[in-house]
Amino acid sequence: MDDLSEETIGHIADAVVDGITNHSAALTALEQRAKDLEEELKAQLVARNADRTEWMTTYEAMRAEIESLRCGDLGPFHDGELSSERAAAFRLHLGRCSECAAELLTIVSNAAHLSDVAPTEKR
């Protein structure tokens, strides 16, 4: 160190301070960019969740409408008039629709009761 002049040492010190200052400024800029990206990602997540909520609401409304349409298949299901695919779909519907399940039970019970009653003779 004895070979270095005070002027040289001063230049080295200034360069170190400048390097630290530049590094600090770069670090601050990177931290700001990270914060900006985090905010952007949060905004995208909020938008995506809003889209998902809207999609789920639409899906549930459509599903409810389809299920209500299936209620009209009760009579044809009991009478064996539905295609195999539609009958399978109606069986799934029965697991979700307590009204149709109860109505089908009533129809089957009434049909069984009627079959137990002997027809009366006409005079």
Q: What distance in Å separates the CA atoms of residue 90 and residue 48, rounded to the nearest whole number?
A: 34
Torsion of CA 91, 94, 96, 101, to 10 degrees: -170
Tens digit of pLDDT at every position of the chain (123 positions): 567 888 888 888 888 888 888 888 888 999 999 999 999 999 999 999 999 999 999 999 888 888 778 888 999 999 999 999 999 999 999 998 999 999 999 999 988 888 777 666 665
- Structure token pair of residue 96: 């979700």
Question: Do the Cβ atoms of 96 and 71 come closer than 8 Å?
Answer: no
Residue type, 40: E
Greatest alpha-carbon span in the chain: 140
Instruction: Calculate ∠ Cα 67-90-80, nearest 5°.
Output: 140
d(CA 42, CA 12) in angstroms, rounded, equals 45
Quick one: pLDDT at residue 91? 93
Give dist(CA 37, CA 34) in Å, integer.
5
